[in-house]
Amino acid sequence: MMHAKRYPEKNQHLEQHQIFLNDVAIMKQQFLTKGASTSLLIQLNTALMQWIIDHIKKVDIYVRYSSNLAVSTATL
Every domain of the chain and the residues it spans: 21-74
- How many Å apart are CA 58 and CA 16, to the nearest integer? 13
User: 32-45 pLDDT, tens per residue?
Assistant: 999 999 999 999 99
- The reported pLDDT for the residue numbered 56 is 76
Closest CA to 6 of 76, 74, 75, 54: 74
Q: What is the mean pLDDT of each run of 10 residues along the chain (76 residues)?
A: 59 90 97 97 95 80 59 45
Angle at alpha carbon of residue 45, lines to 40 and 50, rounded to 5°: 130
- The reported pLDDT for the residue numbered 48 is 94
